[in-house]
Structure 1
Amino acid sequence: MSIAFLEIDLGAATRVGLVDIVDIASAGADASDGWWVEYSTDNSSWTQFADKFDLLGSETFTRRASLAPGEDVTARYWRLVADDALSGRTIAVDAVQMWQESEELSAARGFGFSYSTETDYAMVLTDRAIEVYDAGVHVGSVYSPYTSAQVAEVTRAQSLDTLLQFHEDVEPWRVFRQGDGSEWDSRAQSFDNVPQIRFSDATYTNGTNEKQEVLLLKMTSGTDRFNLKYGGKVSASITYDGDNSTTAGNIEAALEGIEDVGSGNVSVSRTATNTFTVEFINDLGQQPIALMSYQFLGPGDGDEIIDVSRVVDGGSGGEPIMSAARGWPSCGTFYQSRLALAGFKGRKATLAFSVLSDFFDLDLELEGSDGGLLLPIDNDQMKAIRQVNPGNHFQIFTDDGEFWISDRVIAKGQIPNFALGPERGIWPGLDVAQADDNNFYVPADGKSVRAFVFEEASQRYRALNASRLSAHLIASPTGWATIRRDSSEGADRVFLANADGSAAVYTLATAEDFAAWVPWGTQGGEFVDFIAEGGRTLYAIVERTVDGQTGLRLEIYDPAALYDAHVAVSEDDPVSEVSGLDHLEGETVELWLDGRPYGSAAVASGAVALPVAASEIEVGLNVAWRAETMDLVMDVGGTTRGSKSRVHSVHLLLEDTGSIAVGANGEEPREILLRSTADAFKPLGDILYTGPVEIDGLMGYARENSVVITQTIRSPATVRAFTMEGRTV
């Protein structure tokens, strides 16, 4: 049984794929799976829409009920429903928003969300939505304020359950996990004590005049004298003429006589017994003023008392550094128990650090080292901060230069040292990637990948070119992700997507002195971005046209798969058809049946007919891998680049390999025999070869010579080592 606590009539049957329930509030204990959304076409028979949600009794929260991307229902009547165990409980809802997908393809970017080694998600940011995946399964959706045009420029920072997103035209947005992968609160993040600054295009009258009190005790009227010091300059002698306005006038006249004060810029009045208040006005108004000092001139009898204290801090006025009118920070990160905000739309070269251990309080007036900080980059040229990174130092990447704060600790009262690094800038919209204990970034020209490395000898950062020999593989990147090595013998890999839909993979094992780039591709698709879930599972956002319809697909990389975009089936009894191939509609796919290749077949109505019944089946696109050496250069008493040469021997070390083909000297690769005649009729999958292969007697010559290793028959293959021998003409 259930109880409807909010009913909605849309007036007509309407297609709906997403429902946002904004600011739900209910006093009482938490209730697991306590409420959900239902729809009806006749206002009589009701169907649950999406998953149930927990009802939180201690706080206000927002939820999005959603089907998987591309799915929706059409209905006129909708309602919010609670479990009947909550009968009598008041549930308040601020708003309900319903969405439907349009035909227009959205921009998309991906990123990982990691709370712990056991709790990881892959997230895809699109127009007004973040789709959440766990181990390849869509588990939830979260409202996002960003339009498709803004998606590529959104940056983010995460700490435990909190994800903050930044864009200079949108208020910082917080996504907060409140349960499993379907329970996310989404809202604008407010800040306390936002610093006020003065923008050059506005005039401000909201400042505060500085007020300081001068206390005069046990002084003799008409004889005792003193002076005041302002800005290092001393006033004329001031005569104490009693606890009255005359003494106030004497103080005012003496201060106006100081060159840096001037006439009409102070007002002095008696405000309490023997207390005279100095207010700085006009040219000295609405700004901080250093505390004045004093000197007693005598004659006196030794017990006179003079003191100066501040009663009102002078403030220059202005307006918040971030607001709907002035824009918002474009990036941020968590660092040393503070939140750092940077790249403000109205102050692009400025950093703001929160109060220590209070991420959303920017109080600059808080005394002590824990207070907030507002720091412009100390540089001769204006820089626009695009990314900040919490590395060994606090690292700052701008549109045309890189900086770091050399101080190990960020603290109020300690002037930070901004050190200028390589002046290359960073490519917009792309974060800093970590791989094998190195930080990598793409410079502002979008044509290379560089490692941001600190050199102990020079105590400076350098931008080492990590793609020097593979610059052709880097072309205006749109996204990247790092997959961590899964053992001490593996290597980290960075997967990078380019604006033209191509991709490249950077394999890095620094301790083994190994680094290599290779191109990566997928048949019939263009890469948009990559996502690393927990640093172990790789997703690719791919734009594909299937059956005449172009769309975005989230695909998981399976290194054990033989084919691209594959479907694997394991049946107890042999079957003659494989379905579930809607994503390959109209494509010609390769067939791997019971351990051997069986040619190809066309996908129709999401299925293929098999030439023979089989139990262990894999179907997909045949994208053959290909490894090719650089042009052969031999040193035989002098470089022979450009001369004719012959590779006559190639030696391979293979592991669990079903087939291999080798070509050299300009000849097409040919299949190498790995099995004996007795094994000829056994399935390839049952007799994978492990061991050395020596290919000798290769013929032919070529001027631009190389060796190609590939497969003509798709099967498992691992090449552990490779050497070649050759000679020149």
Structure 2
Amino acid sequence: MVMVRANQVSFTAGEIGPDLAARIEVSRYYSGAKLLRNVLVKPQGGIKRRPGTAHLHDFTGGEGMGGVRCIPFAFNTEQTYCIVLTGGQFHVWRSDGLYLATVGSCPWSAGIAAQANHAQSADTLLLFHPDMRTQRLRRGGVETSWTIEDVTWSNVPQFNFGDGDEDMISDARGWPECGTFHQGRLWLGGPRSRPATFIASKIGDFFNLDKGTTLDDEAIVGTIDSDQVNAIHQMVSGRALQIFTSGAEHVITGDPLTPKTIGVAEQTRRGIKRFTRTVEVDGATLFAQRGGAALRQFLFVDTEQAWRADIASLLAPHLVLDPIDMAARKTARQDDADRVLMVNANGSVTVLTTLRSQEVTAFSRWETDGIVRSAAALLSGEVFFAVERGGRIHVELWAEMRLLDVSKRRTEVSPFKVVPGLSHLEGRQVVAVADGAFFGPFTVSGYSITLPRQVRDAEVGLFFPVEAETLPIEPRHPSGAVIGRRTRIATITARVRNTGHFRLNNHNMVVRGVGGPPVAPLDSPPPVFTGDITVRGLVGYRLQNTIRIDQPTPQPFELLGLAYEVRIDS
């Protein structure tokens, strides 16, 4: 029998799919995990409990379940908003979660709301869908003033559909599916009756589509011609103007882009999933591939002087579950990474933590008691979610200091026992974290709960479990791999920071001191702990051993690394 000491001090490869469970020769095996649920992977290597969400509002009827989309809006660098589209309406929240306005009588159904594309310039947000007149949404002089109106196009290019020349975009022929602003023009793509066609406005006159006599500042009309169907689904302004179609990825060439210099160059043939948004991270445009089974990054590679659409989800294909929406939260901190949030058709959220300069590409999955329908990340860093729960759509805000989902928090100078304001959770089973201690479960009745004792600070909401599990333990051993040999994990040490109660291979890890000062009395909540916690005397030989971590109660949690002793059966 041989004893081997090993460790895992990084999870920057994220959750790795079962197809790679035996690839022990790959270095990412030793920085990956079998399971990462409701955690954030830190670019430094550790993992921590994901933030909870703060409840903002819930819609109780008429909007259509699933018919919702969250859209970021930046009036300037300091004034940012989340626009939430529902059937026939849109709603506005400020970045801090303050509700501002609801505007009704909008010309879209719930189905169109969930599929709408958008583009923004200054105080104007344009909404696109092939079955809806392009809409112009604007903020007024004060942030509670919002309006919506049809875009009026002038000098629309024409095409002979068989009965003489007609406008390419109209009620009869449909409207653009997507658009973007690039080099002083508004670019439109994928009109319903001419899906492979794009139109660019006159420079500085966004709603004027006059081709004129092909002067440099006049409108541009082009069609993607190839040996396959190329319906335009997304247009992205970046290093170049990028066009994502049903079958391929293209860039518009020409510098500057004029009616005489413009060209269309096909780059790769992957295709994008229709009505899913793209996001930009570290100079790459991430998109869900046609069919919804892969996440790809469209990136110009200087060494090859070519664009590529490399697969970003190679190590975690099982977490790309037919995405219906995407958002990217850009970090403003030197010690953090960017997060890409993919809202899956099954209501879960797949999170990609990425920092290309440090080779961090880590996937994990967030789950909640509900179905996530949409997400939006604002320029200022806030993230909004639209979540379906119990026949309602809840608008929620990513809240770094919350431990529960769709939660309400009450903080008072004087002690209290009753937490009111829980109408959005009426009849639901909830839990509470009050003065740092866990209470519950409770059933919300009369829009409130009553705690068993008085407190000064309480958060009430829905519990979500934190789970992490390593890949099968394969310590590097002089005799070779231990695959097929029985092993026993004898000792595990977890190095944690600011962490409360958690379990390590089903062993409760609760730090509690006993005695006089400075140790807290026994009737106070357990303090968070920073340091090493060890569990010894583990028994049981297995062909595959893993280390599993979970939290049965909502407490702070951050794991920096694991060290363990493994006994190998000779």
TM tier, smaller: 0.7 to 0.9
Q: Identify which of 105, 111, 120 aligns with 1:149.
A: 111
Partner of 1:611, secondary structure, is strand
- The residue identity in structure 1 corresponding to 2:374 is D
Q: Identify which of 707, 711, 714 aligns with 2:554.
A: 714
Deviation at 1:475, TM superposition (A): 1.5
- Map residues 420-431 of structure 1 onto 2, 5 A cutoff: 420-431=266-277
C-alpha distance in 2 between matches for 1:627 and 1:363: 58
Out of 391-400 and 588-597, give the one that drifted further. Answer: 588-597
What is the CA deviation profile of residues 15-55 of structure 1, one whole-angstrom value per residue up to 9, with x for unaligned ones?
A: xxxxxxxxxxxxxxxxxxxxxxxxxxxxxxxxxxxxxxxxx
Segments of 5+ residues of structure 2 without an aligned counterpart are 1-56
- Alignment check: 8 A CA contact 1:595 1:683 kept: no
What is the CA deviation profile of residues 110-135 of structure 1, one whole-angstrom value per residue up to 9, with x for unaligned ones?
A: 11101222111111111111111112
C-alpha distance in 2 between matches for 1:159 and 1:104: 29
Partner of 1:344, secondary structure, is coil
- The residue identity in structure 2 corresponding to 1:659 is H
Partner of 2:317, secondary structure, is helix
Partner of 2:542: 702
- The residue identity in structure 1 corresponding to 2:469 is E
- Alignment check: 8 A CA contact 1:650 1:694 kept: yes
Deviation at 1:543, TM superposition (A): 0.6
- The residue identity in structure 1 corresponding to 2:286 is F
What's the TM-score, normalizing by structure 2?
0.84
- Alignment check: 8 A CA contact 1:684 1:715 kept: no
- Map residues 671-682 of structure 1 onto 2, 5 A cutoff: 671-678=508-515, 679=519, 681=521
- Alignment check: 8 A CA contact 2:62 2:87 kept: no
- Cα gap change, 1:566 to 1:153, in 2 (>3 Å): closer
Deviation at 1:642, TM superposition (A): 4.5
Deviation at 1:711, TM superposition (A): 2.2
C-alpha distance in 2 between matches for 1:451 and 1:138: 35
Partner of 1:149, secondary structure, is helix
What is the CA deviation profile of residues 153-183 of structure 1, one whole-angstrom value per residue up to 9, with x for unaligned ones?
A: 3111101111111111222111122222321
Partner of 1:184: 146
Partner of 1:657: 499
Deviation at 1:589, TM superposition (A): 2.1
Partner of 1:111: 71
- Map residues 294-693 of structure 1 onto 2, 5 A cutoff: 318-416=165-263, 418-523=264-369, 525-545=370-390, 550-636=391-477, 637-663=479-505, 669-678=506-515, 679=519, 681=521, 687-693=527-533
Deviation at 1:670, TM superposition (A): 1.1
- Alignment check: 8 A CA contact 1:671 1:712 kept: no
C-alpha distance in 2 between matches for 1:609 and 1:162: 46
How many residues are matched?
Answer: 507
- Alignment check: 8 A CA contact 1:163 1:174 kept: yes
- Alignment check: 8 A CA contact 2:484 2:543 kept: yes
- Alignment check: 8 A CA contact 1:596 1:683 kept: no
Partner of 2:228, secondary structure, is coil
- The residue identity in structure 1 corresponding to 2:86 is T
> Sequence identity of aligned pairs in percent?
31
C-alpha distance in 1 between matches for 2:381 and 2:186: 28
- Map residues 31-50 of structure 1 onto 2, 5 A cutoff: none
Deviation at 1:634, TM superposition (A): 4.0
- The residue identity in structure 2 corresponding to 1:631 is P
Deviation at 1:639, TM superposition (A): 3.4
C-alpha distance in 1 between matches for 2:315 and 2:484: 19
Out of 608-617 and 390-399, give the one that drifted further. Answer: 608-617
C-alpha distance in 2 between matches for 1:557 and 1:514: 23
- Alignment check: 8 A CA contact 2:326 2:342 kept: yes
C-alpha distance in 1 between matches for 2:536 and 2:309: 44
- Cα gap change, 1:426 to 1:106, in 2 (>3 Å): closer
Out of 496-505 and 651-660, give the one that drifted further. Answer: 651-660
CA RMSD of aligned residues (A): 2.2
Partner of 2:92: 132
Partner of 1:583, secondary structure, is helix
Deviation at 1:500, TM superposition (A): 1.4
Query: Which protein shows a greater Rg?
Result: 1
- Cα gap change, 1:613 to 1:641, in 2 (>3 Å): same
Segments of 5+ residues of structure 1 without an aligned counterpart are 1-67, 72-100, 205-317, 664-668
- Map residues 66-105 of structure 1 onto 2, 5 A cutoff: 70=59, 102=62, 105=65
1:172 aligns with 2:120: no
Partner of 1:214: none
Deviation at 1:438, TM superposition (A): 2.6
